[in-house]
């Protein structure tokens, strides 16, 4: 599933390709990806208008129109944006034609992505009960959202109601950088460990964006280039693979010691 760094890349791509162009035609190819809005509502909202700016929050992208409505995009497992000629889109679910003759396609092979409309992104975020955005949160708020939370640290990092934007890959990387075992009960982390976790979260997400969300291209000192069966820990030894909260989890036993 696309995580926060991916959404930052999508946002930049959208801003560079799709703003300030009149929309001449709208085709809802797969109405089943719509949530809370009909095909006709989507067409009426977009047709004849322009996108003027966008906002990312967690794993959502909000595209603001010049009529003050926002197109909500959630990319599910395989969703992405494509801008160009119509025949360049492989799995179009929403197809938008601009006055320039170019198309913007919400592509999604497995159709787990979702599209909708809202007038107020903050209200939508509140209705979804999303936690603070992982890239925008400060340390005081970070510590507060985890206060009195019970359970293992990795599932809490993945819980979008606690913190919005982190997925399975970058949770592993953040915990590796922080030297925290994924099974560690959150309430056992001390103040210094929370500070380290916060700082590493910010650094890892920024680095991922800098590297265009290409985990394999990250520095060799990072976990993700080695995150595959048989991979070796950059600190030495083999990586371990275990299920945590139903998610495949990689960690380095030499570096990440569990606390009891």
Tokens in use for 109? 């092979």
Q: Is 31 a catalytic residue?
A: no
* Percent of the chain residues topping a pLDDT of 70: 100
Confidence of residue 1 (pLDDT cuts 50, 70, 90): confident
Residue 68 zone, left/alpha/beta (φ > 0; ψ -120 to 50; rest): left
- Residue 176 and residue 196: Cα distance in Å, rounded? 11
What per-residue confidence (pLDDT) applies to 215?
A: 93
CATH 3.20.190.10 domain position(s) in the chain: 4-127
- Residue 45 and residue 43: Cα distance in Å, rounded? 5
CATH 1.10.8.50 matches 139-251: yes
pLDDT of 164 over the 90 cut: yes
Q: Is 102 a catalytic residue?
A: no
Q: Is 202 a catalytic residue?
A: no
Confidence of residue 260 (pLDDT cuts 50, 70, 90): confident
What per-residue confidence (pLDDT) applies to 88?
A: 92
**Residue 199 DSSP class:** H
pLDDT of 60 over the 90 cut: yes
Mean pLDDT score, 77-82:
97
Average pLDDT in the chain: 97
Q: Do residues 37 and 115 make contact, with C-beta atoms less than 8 angstroms apart?
A: yes
- Residue 103 and residue 4: Cα distance in Å, rounded? 25
CATH 3.20.190.10 matches 4-127: yes
CATH 1.10.8.50 domain position(s) in the chain: 139-251
Could you say which of 5, 8, 59, 114 is catalytic?
59
pLDDT tens column, 89-128: 999 999 999 999 999 999 999 999 999 999 999 999 999 9
Could you say which of 2, 5, 92, 215 is catalytic?
2
pLDDT tens column, 192-236: 999 999 999 999 999 999 999 999 999 999 999 999 999 999 999
* Continuous segment of H or E residues that includes residue 55: strand 51-57
* Continuous segment of H or E residues that includes residue 196: helix 191-210
What per-residue confidence (pLDDT) applies to 255?
A: 96
């Amino acid at each position: 599933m696309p995580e926060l760094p991916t959404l930052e890349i999508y946002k930049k791509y959208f801003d560079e390709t799709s703003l300030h162009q009149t929309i001449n035609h709208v085709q809802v190819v797969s109405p089943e990806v719509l949530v809370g809005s009909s095909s006709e509502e989507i067409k009426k909202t977009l047709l004849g208008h322009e996108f003027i700016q966008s906002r990312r929050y967690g794993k959502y992208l909000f595209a603001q129109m010049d009529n003050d409505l926002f197109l909500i995009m959630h990319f599910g497992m395989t969703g992405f944006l494509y801008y160009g000629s119509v025949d360049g889109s492989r799995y179009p679910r929403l197809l938008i034609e601009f006055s320039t003759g170019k198309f913007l396609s919400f592509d999604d092979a497995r159709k787990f992505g979702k599209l909708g409309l809202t007038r107020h992104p903050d209200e939508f975020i509140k209705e979804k009960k999303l936690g603070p955005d992982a890239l925008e949160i400060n340390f005081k708020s970070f510590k507060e959202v985890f206060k009195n939370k019970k359970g293992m640290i990795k599932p809490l990092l993945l819980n979008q109601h606690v913190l919005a934007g982190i997925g399975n890959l970058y949770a592993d990387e953040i915990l590796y950088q922080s030297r925290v075992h994924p099974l560690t009960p959150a309430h056992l982390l001390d103040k210094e460990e929370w500070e380290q976790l916060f700082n590493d979260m910010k650094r890892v997400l920024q680095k991922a964006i800098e590297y265009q969300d290409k985990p394999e291209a990250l520095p060799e000192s990072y976990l993700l280039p080695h995150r595959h069966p048989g991979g070796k820990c950059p600190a030495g030894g083999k990586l371990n693979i275990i299920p945590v909260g139903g998610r495949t989890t990689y960690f380095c036993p030499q570096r990440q010691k569990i606390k009891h």
